[in-house]
């Protein structure tokens, strides 16, 4: 796989492809980052972007993980003290999950976001951004009448982080695209360069295949799940024998979250997936690519129940090192 393919594989969106191609021409020592509001334990959303960071490290990038304590504070996630304790625990989990300790720098937002220069740049960004533009960059759920001023400042700070962390590439889930678009407009206003961004897909709700898998409501896979919990969640998952399910009766898009997890979470980390089956049902199946697994599910050779068993085992193996860290 060439560097561009490795850097962009499984990304839902690359902004812009030309800019990332330029990075891919000489990836050694280039810098990428993802930011996370410290909260709870790692869940599948964190792990998907972390998987992309692992791809980038393999391609030669140095990686910064921003533990965005100030952002979490602005988003009403608790006191600084609570947020920072969570940040420490998250850092240990990211390493356990497989980020290369020597090529990963963990930075707390408050280490630079409270400096005078940053603050003055933030005010300059506030001055060059209309309220309606800032509002458009906010998450959908925050945009009502109860939105706080802090939540409008938040995306502007995220844009500035790209400059202050001196990164060549910003990575995030597709839910970060609005902020990254704002950054493309805001940074040049402050005479800073635009940097490309890469967005990972959002996994659908595990039990319905509709909307997004979320830790706040619905079922998610977390690092503190027991083997039994994972197995239960996966066995109850929505999994028709196709990667392209029909929309719901209300016309909502549906995905197959079991296949999405194989594609975006398991195969980037595991070279072969073995589906165990008793001999009377044809014996074990082995797949060395997501495409091969998808094809056999669609043809009927691989039954969704058997695929779920293999998925639960693979998820369990991937979170096991982090789970041990939590217990320690």
Q: Which residues of the shown chain bind ligand IYR in the complex (CB under 6 A)? A: 34-37, 66, 68, 71, 158, 161, 170, 172, 176
Nearer residue to ligand IYR within complex by CB, 39 or 57 = 39
The Cα angle at residue 313 between residues 307 and 316, in degrees rounded to 5: 135
Strands 197-200 and 13-15: antiparallel
Minimal distance in Å, beta carbon 132 to ligand IYR? 20
Nearer residue to ligand IYR within complex by CB, 172 or 245 = 172
> Is residue 290 marked as binding?
no
Residue 111 burial (CB count, 10 A): 14
β-sheet bridge partners, residue 274: 286
> Is residue 33 marked as binding?
yes
Rounded Cα–Cα distance for residues 72 and 132 (Å):
22
Long-range contacts, stretch 267-273, CB < 8 angstroms, 24+ apart: 268/9, 268/10, 268/51, 268/54, 268/55, 269/51, 269/54, 269/98, 269/318, 270/314, 270/317, 270/318, 273/310, 273/314
Which token pair is 86?
A: 């969570």
> Is residue 154 marked as binding?
yes
> Is residue 161 marked as binding?
yes
Residue number, nearest CB to ligand IYR:
35
Minimal distance in Å, beta carbon 158 to ligand IYR? 4
Nearer residue to ligand IYR within complex by CB, 171 or 243 = 171
Nearer residue to ligand IYR within complex by CB, 36 or 290 = 36
Minimal distance in Å, beta carbon 197 to ligand IYR? 9
Minimal distance in Å, beta carbon 231 to ligand IYR? 28
> Is residue 176 marked as binding?
yes
Do the beta carbons of residue 140 and residue 214 sit within 8 Å? no
Q: Residues within the annotated binding site?
A: 33, 154, 158, 161, 176, 215
Annotated binding site for ATP: 215
């Amino acid at each position: 796989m060439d560097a561009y393919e490795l850097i962009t594989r499984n990304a839902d969106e690359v902004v812009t492809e030309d800019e990332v191609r330029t990075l891919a021409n000489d990836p050694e020592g280039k810098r990428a980052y993802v930011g996370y509001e410290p909260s709870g334990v790692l869940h599948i959303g964190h792990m998907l972007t972390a998987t992309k960071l692992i791809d980038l490290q393999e391609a030669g990038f140095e990686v910064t993980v921003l533990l965005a304590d100030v952002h979490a504070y602005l988003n009403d996630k608790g006191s600084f003290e609570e947020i920072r304790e969570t940040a420490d625990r998250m850092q240990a989990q990211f390493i356990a999950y497989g980020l290369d300790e020597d090529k990963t720098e963990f930075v707390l937002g408050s280490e630079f976001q409270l400096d005078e220069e940053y603050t003055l740049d933030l005010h300059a960004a506030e001055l060059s951004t209309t309220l309606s533009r800032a509002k458009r960059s906010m998450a959908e759920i925050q945009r009502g009448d109860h939105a706080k001023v802090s939540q409008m400042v938040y995306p502007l700070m995220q844009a500035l982080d790209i400059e202050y962390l001196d990164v060549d590439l910003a990575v995030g889930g597709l839910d970060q695209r609005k902020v990254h678009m704002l950054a493309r407009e805001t940074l040049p206003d402050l005479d800073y360069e635009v940097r490309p961004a890469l967005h990972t897909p959002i996994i659908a709700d595990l039990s319905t295949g509709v909307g997004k898998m979320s830790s706040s409501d619905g079922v998610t896979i977390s690092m503190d799940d027991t083997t039994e919990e994972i197995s239960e969640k996966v066995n109850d998952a929505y999994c028709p024998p196709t990667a392209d399910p029909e929309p719901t009766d209300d016309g909502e898009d549906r995905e197959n979250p079991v296949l999405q997890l194989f594609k975006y979470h398991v195969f980037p980390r595991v070279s072969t997936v073995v589906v165990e089956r008793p001999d009377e049902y044809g014996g074990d199946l082995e797949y060395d690519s997501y495409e091969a697994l998808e094809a056999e599910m669609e043809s009927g050779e691989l039954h969704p129940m058997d695929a779920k068993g293999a998925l639960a085992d693979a998820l369990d193996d991937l979170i096991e090192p982090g789970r041990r860290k939590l217990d320690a």
